Amino acid sequence: GYCPHERVSLVEHGLIDRGVITCRRHGYQFDLRTGGCESAPWLRLVRYSVTQIGAEIWVDLPSRA
């Protein structure tokens, strides 16, 4: 995923702690349950439905029209 502020990769620049992911580039923090950002409510993470099947994680991506 990417931080919606400047599309920084949260895989490379994110830090997860207690249900919150912090973008280490500018410090924005996002609630992993809601995708919301408390300090900048206009920023939201895109969330996807996921299913765990054994050791695999399946992500339900929207179809492209």
Is 16 contained in some domain? Answer: yes
Contacts by 27-30, CB closer than 8 A, 24 or more apart? 28/3, 30/3
Residue 51's pLDDT is 96
Is 5 contained in some domain? Answer: no
Residue 64 in this model has a pLDDT that exceeds 90: no
Phi and psi angles of residue 57, each rounded to the nearest 5 degrees, phi first: -110, 125
CATH, residue 40: 2.102.10.10
Q: What is the mean pLDDT of residues 7-30?
A: 94
Q: What is the pTM of this model?
A: 0.77
Rounded to whole angstroms, the Cα distance separating 21 from 14 reads 6
Number of domains in the chain: 1
Q: Residue 42 sits in which domain range?
A: 10-60
Q: pLDDT tens, 23-48? A: 999 999 999 999 999 899 999 998 88
Residue 1's pLDDT is 84
